[in-house]
Amino acid sequence: MPSLTMASVLGRPGVLRLQLRLRMLLSALKPGILVSQAGPTAAFGTSITSAKVAVNGVHLHYQQTGEGDHAVLLLPGMLGSGETDFGPQLKNLNKKLFTVVAWDPRGYGRSKPPDRDFPVDFFERDAKDAVDLMKALKFKKVSLLGWSDGGITALIAAAKYPSYIHKMVIWGANAYVTDEDSMIYEGIRDVSKWSERTRKPLEALYGYDYFARTCEKWVDGISQFKLLPDGNICRHLLPQVQCPTLIVHGEKDPLVPRFHADFIHEHVKGSRLHLMPEGKHNLHLRFADEFNKLAEDFLQ
């Protein structure tokens, strides 16, 4: 995947590291457990329901389960949906303690139309959509579980709507973009080079053309931030986060280096950093039981 130009810049060890990180990226994008629209779950016999609601001019799709007083919103990553990104959480988070909602951001999953686009404020737009969705569902206050792009959205939501956010857990997120990040993003631009195992579930969700086009648009969209001072996405907002925050980082995450988690931890006052030694980017899927217990203990 790396070009000769990159090889000349990085040297052979650098290219090998980048190749490894790109391979891990493609495995990390593999969707999690798929959840039926209204199937029974193991915990307390509650079901997962699926619906759409009009929010900010679009119809946002969400799934909901549980009957607890504590509302929790799950925020998916790039090209993700609640269904593909949070199977083990929808199934197994405590249904007596929590009401769990997993949403599809506009243009992702089943929140289409519209097609997904990436204006420079797309994370802020997602944050407003997410908060307004939960308000439309009549939740008075919510906690956030945000993965990857969803973690960035969660940080922005917590900073901009502090009175509405109770607690927050994020993992695989970054507050700015570096040169190293940009090279990784370019490595996934052409989905025809992805492995069939990784590509097929997203093709089934979106169709090949929409999937390929949206991935390219995402790379362009996330690359916009590299042109801003310090590659800024939301680093200026971190000091405004007031809610208790848990940052989880997989020590073997090939996509988001440790320094991103450290930076967020340093700049979100009172936050906790929890390291998972064997965790990669999709640690909540690979180590679902451990992650779910960690999140439940923090949210209580």
Q: Please report how the helices 4-28 and 179-187 are oriented relative to each other, as an axis angle in degrees rounded to 10.
A: 70
| Cα end-to-end span (Å), the chain | 44
| Per-position DSSP letters for the chain, written without gaps between them | ---HHHHHHHHHHHHHHHHHHHHHHHHHTS------TT-B-SSTT-B-EEEEEEETTEEEEEEEEE--SEEEEEE--TT--HHHH-HHHHHHS-TTTEEEEEE--TTSTT--SSPP---TTHHHHHHHHHHHHHHHTT-SSEEEEEETHHHHHHHHHHHH-TTTEEEEEEES--SB--HHHHHHHHHTS-GGGS-HHHHHHHHHHH-HHHHHHHHHHHHHHHHGGGGSGGGBSSGGGGGG--S-EEEEEETT-SSS-HHHHHHHHHHSTT-EEEEETT--TTHHHHTHHHHHHHHHHHH-
Q: Which residue has the tokens 């006052």?
A: 269
Measured between alpha carbons, how far is 274 from 280 in angstroms, rounded to an integer?
Answer: 13
Q: Is the peptide bond before 277 cis (omega within 30 degrees of 0)?
A: no
Question: Which residues are the active-site residues?
Answer: 148, 253, 281
